[in-house]
Amino acid sequence: MRSYRSPRNPKPETKDPRRAGVVSAIEQQERRGGRRSNVYLDGRYAFSLTTELAIQELHVGDAISVERYAALVLKDQQARCFDAALRFLGARPRSEREMRDRLARHEFDVTVVDRVIERLRRINLVDDAAFAAYWVEQRATHRPRGSRLLKQELRQKGVSQDVLAEALSSDDDEAGAYRAAQRKATSLRTFDERTFKQRLGSFLQRRGYGYETIKPVVNRLWQEATGQPGSDDETGAVD
């Protein structure tokens, strides 16, 4: 019968990481919400596992060989690594590089990380194509950026050139630049044409838009703000 007492700070009886013996008790830890359980072999604390894994894999009286111990530890590391990955995904989707970098910070073994990443791929929780599409959509909706800056952001997150090109294939830079500049244009409407266009052009440049996109957008917003057609040579963007 399982025991769920929670001893204080149990320590292994030996520094040798290998464990072998007969399971004499499985005790759920009180800390961390009981998510881990201590395993005793022959009456002595030997190691801990996630409580879910302990329930699935062990019973009092089971004989544990060195090989089975190693297999249990590997499963435990994979379970902890997977849980860390799910927590990291809680805020937003992640690229594969972002996920690998985050798990590396937890000092999980590279082999464990590889297996967890493969599992995440199988269940579509790590997918660079879906991530890139999400990133472009979020930028377009909340913080419009030009293709140049979007490419830079996605490269920094490890997205490949092929995936990046596909994600940006339908991106409309001019529409995005117009949305990005509308509020700024309103704040500049009292300025003369040259100042209006220079400041608005610089604003869009800093957001990754190129001259060929900036020029028609700035002219359109000047006309909307003043009712006057713009001069082609007043845009402040640098070609």
- The reply to whether the predicted model has a pTM over 0.85 is no
Give yes or no for a contact between 18 and 50, defined as CB atoms under 8 angstroms apart. no
Spatial distance between the Cα atoms of 191 and 30, rounded to a whole number of angstroms:
66
Rounded distance between C-alpha atoms, residue 26 and residue 40, angstroms: 6
Q: pLDDT per residue over 23-72, tens digit each?
A: 999 999 988 778 999 999 999 999 999 999 999 999 999 999 999 999 99
Q: Measure the CA–CA gap between 28 and 85, rounded to whole angstroms.
A: 24
Q: Is the per-residue pLDDT at 103 higher than 90?
A: yes
pLDDT attached to residue 77: 94
Burial (CB < 10 A; 0-12, 13-18, 19+), residue 5, is exposed
pLDDT for residue 34:
86
What are the residue boundaries of the structural domains of the chain, listed by start? 1-64, 79-122, 128-168, 173-226
Helices (H) and strands (E) in the chain, counts: 10, 4
Least trusted range by pLDDT, from 12-21, 68-77, 165-174, 228-237: 12-21
pLDDT tens string 189-239: 889 999 999 999 999 988 888 888 889 899 999 988 888 776 665 555 544
207-229 burial by CB neighbour count: b if 16+ within 10 A, else e?
Answer: bbbbeebbbebbbbbbeebeeee
The overall average pLDDT reported for the chain is: 85
CB 35 within 8 A of CB 50: yes
